[in-house]
Structure 1
Amino acid sequence: MLSKRSVAASVLCALLATGATACNGDKGGPAAASAPASARPSASPVPTLAVDTLTADQISEQAHAAMAALASVKVDGELTMDGSKLAVHLTSDKQGNCSGTVASPEVGQFELRHSGSKTWLRADETTWKKAVAKEPGATAQDAAIAAELFKGRFITGGDTRAELAEAAMMCNLIKGLFADDSDKGKEKIAKGSAGTTNGVKTFGLTVTTGDGENLTLHVATEGKPYLIRMEQTQGSEPAAFDFSEFDKPFTVQEPAADQVVDFSVFEKKVKKA
């Protein structure tokens, strides 16, 4: 059985467990959220991607370059990790700042904001109670303390708190998905077909990674060759991401002081209980 101190320290880990796993994984896996209408990458007149004359690798390289050059992007998606589904709706910029929501059936939904070195999380009462209940040694009193203390509030834990650092890693969407060339040369890319994805004219690519995973990429053929959708439908961990709001001005609103409570306050209250 965990001590009171251990229970308090584990609550935030439980809340973030699914998100941290998805963030630290290398699969970059994509599942599907509804496609935002704002996915259109640019307005007319626009250049057209020459899919007939370009090779699959060349199309992929152009898409990679376009995404890596973005200042900000919105990602809506769902992925499966270790049998658990994680729904993500986040807007992120190139500096790793972000805001949005992350949810899993096992825990619930929490709002995430990250700016610079500061991270804030806000969850509802049900989510907190689920998070506490998952911890060995936790009591109904622990759950009640967390639910009441964090009701309608964001939690923060200082710049050095490991759990919040892991949550902030979810904000590195652009760096993690589009700036990593570690698999370059190990992938096999094949052409697919033209179509429409989220209201945008696209061309499909099938990518077989060095690990043997198959991904389908839907690249915009008008305007900049942004990646509109990425999906993995095969295997036990399907996933998909939809991308939109390319380079849209984005700022993170820092919560008001009276809406924030430090996680250490909860640790102290649980220790005294």
Structure 2
Amino acid sequence: MLSKRLAATVVVCCALAAGASGCGPAKAPAGSAEAAAPSVSVSASASVSASKGPHLDTDKLTAAEIEKQAQAAMASLSSVKVSGNLMVEGQKMTLDLATDTKGNCQGTIGVAGMGLIEIIHTGGSSYLKPDAAFWKAIVGQKGDAKAGAAAAELFKGRYLTGAKDDPELAELSDMCDMIKSMTENDDTDDGAIKGAAATVGEVRTFTVISTDDDGSRTTAHVATEGKPYLVKVTHEGTDPGEMSFSDFDKPITVQAPPADNVIDYSQFRAKIATA
């Protein structure tokens, strides 16, 4: 199902953090950047026109047909913004990413108890900029708080990058290809059922509900006016969370960071290993 494909792409964030140390569940320290991570919302620019374009005939369509139309609409996008918070294998994460089909991506990912990572992907290269809280958490897990503070100062304002064939950075590239990830599997859930009319922000939607074998429930909100975009997905039960979609087809401009603010990822890992 579309929503399951999306949730799977977020797992790579933990793998990136684990490149320096373990990425286990932890409580976010008071005042940390993670605690102030972006919440899920649909911005005003995300609104699907309520007066123009076709209307989704939810009375006549089956749940699977509504899913198919949403998949087709999302597959036609040139760009989209994805914001959300979710629990992945016991790890709470937040994300706020804008991505397009030209290979550009920019935004942040937050990991509970660690902080935020700014992400830039453009021109086939990926760049990561963890905040101070993240640096302190990575190095501090070795039991040396002073080393964590030193690392935060050493890498302050710096981005990590590396070879395109680096497996962890390759995973980041795949994650930024969010539109493809949402649509490369066009299967629909035969067990999905129709929900009811709803509203997300200013967007009128209709819900499609799927239930997993373990009882977890996924609710997809599909816009009923204009193109039938997927506007929001919520998951209740195992690994709960939600994701919202906005800025449909809104062009994004992404620039690589200045070369003097970039550190090779392999050098970073070597420095962390000896910290």
TM superposition score category, shorter chain reference: 0.7 to 0.9
| Contact in 2 for aligned 1:96/1:173 (Cα 8 Å) | no
CA contact (8 A) 1:195 1:201 kept: yes
Q: SS where residue 218 of structure 2 aligns?
A: strand
| Percent identical | 43
Structure 1: which 4+ aligned runs deviate by more than 6 Å?
15-18
Picking from 114, 124, 136, the partner of 2:121 is 114
TM-score after normalising by structure 2: 0.79
Q: Which residue of 1 aligns with 2:161?
A: 156
Deviation at 1:142, TM superposition (A): 4.5
User: 1:35: which partner in 2?
Assistant: 42
- Specify the alignment match of 2:34 in structure 1: none
Aligned counterparts, 1:17-166, within 5 A: 33-42=40-49, 44-135=51-142, 139-140=144-145, 142-166=147-171
Pairwise CA RMSD of aligned residues?
2.8
Cα distance in 2 for residues equivalent to 1:123 and 1:201: 37
Within 5 Å, which residues of 2 pair with 1:120-269? 120-135=127-142, 139-140=144-145, 142-181=147-186, 184=187, 186-208=189-211, 213-233=216-236, 235-267=237-269, 269=271
Partners of 1:239 and 1:224 in 2: CA distance: 25
Q: 2:54–2:225: 8 Å Cα contact kept in structure 1?
A: yes
Q: Distance in 2 between matches of 1:134 and 1:272?
A: 13
CA distance in 1, matches of 2:73, 2:212: 20
Shift of 1:44: 3.5
CA distance in 1, matches of 2:264, 2:215: 43
What 5-or-longer segments of structure 2 have no aligned partner? Answer: 1-15, 26-38
Give TM-score scaled by structure 1 length: 0.80
Aligned to 2:10: none
**Which structure 1 residue ranges, 5 or more long, are not aligned?**
1-8, 19-31
- How far the C-alpha of 1:239 sits from its partner, in A, is 1.2
One-letter amino acid of the structure 2 residue matched with residue 245 of structure 1: D
Deviation string for 1:150-201 (max 9, x for gaps)? 10111112223222222233212111122212xx255312111112112101
Taking a change above 3 Å as real, the CA distance of residues 208 and 258 of structure 1, as seen in their structure-2 partners, is same
Cα distance between partner residues in 2 of 1:140 and 1:70 = 45
| 8 Å CA contact retained: 1:133, 1:143 | yes
Aligned length: 248
Match of residue 6 from structure 1: none
Q: Name the larger-Rg structure.
A: 1
